[in-house]
Amino acid sequence: MRILVVEDEERIRRDLKSHLQASGYVVHEASNGEDAWFLGDTEDFDAVVLDLGLPKMDGLSVLKRWREAERNFPILILTARGGWTDRVEGIDAGADDYLVKPFRMEELVARIRALIRRSAGRASPMLQAGPLTLDTSRAKAIVDGETVALSPLEYRLLSYLLHHRGRVVSRVELVEHIYHDDVEPDSNALEVLVGRVRRKIGSDLIETRRGHGYLVIAE
């Protein structure tokens, strides 16, 4: 899953990136409103963490411009303002959730997980396909009642496909959403990764659609 973190305070941005990466997300950063608007306008993200107090362009203006351009990724706003009118204004502008600073990182990560699930039409943190259960709250895969050991990359692959169960996900989309920016995968790296995951969870759960991508069939 690909997250954009927009925060001008370096320490907070660094902590957000660290916690989100540890929770299995691919994280991109922006430290001002103009860079944030451009990234959100030109690239796809599974969720955005957006501070309101930004230089160059304030967070509320960024949010409004994204929604006017029909950029529909879920957005969690951060604000140092505790007043209910500020929160209402953000939600009315198109935000999906908010947190008031200071906040616990664990709560932010849990809210991001929930936003991504709801955006994909999944209410429960337990995603299922046949004998496989993916516990997104604990980043664990369970097959026939037994926990399966997955690397962070294997988990990101499985999580993305299960969140988009029933839809063919292209190779390009998968690469963009599961690999970090500083990683340039080989041409056959994705096929090798899918093969590794199939050996762990069962060969029938992930279908290859030649020339199109990969699919986990909806139940």
Q: pLDDT band at 90, cuts 50/70/90?
A: confident
Does the pLDDT at position 81 exceed 90?
Answer: no
- The pLDDT score that the predictor gives to residue 190 is 92
- The pLDDT score that the predictor gives to residue 186 is 73
- The pLDDT score that the predictor gives to residue 183 is 67
- The pLDDT score that the predictor gives to residue 217 is 81
Mean per-residue pLDDT of the chain: 91
For Cα atoms 98, 4, 168, give the angle at the middle one, nearest 5 degrees: 105
Percent above pLDDT 90 for the chain: 74
Whole-prediction pTM value?
0.86
> What structural domains does the chain harbor?
2-119 (3.40.50.2300), 126-215 (1.10.10.10)
Interval 34-62: pLDDT, tens: 999 999 999 999 999 999 999 999 999 99
- By residue count, the chain amounts to 219
- The pLDDT score that the predictor gives to residue 48 is 98
- The pLDDT score that the predictor gives to residue 120 is 85
Mean pLDDT of 102-107: 93
| Single-letter amino acid, residue 172 | V
Q: pLDDT band at 124, cuts 50/70/90?
A: confident
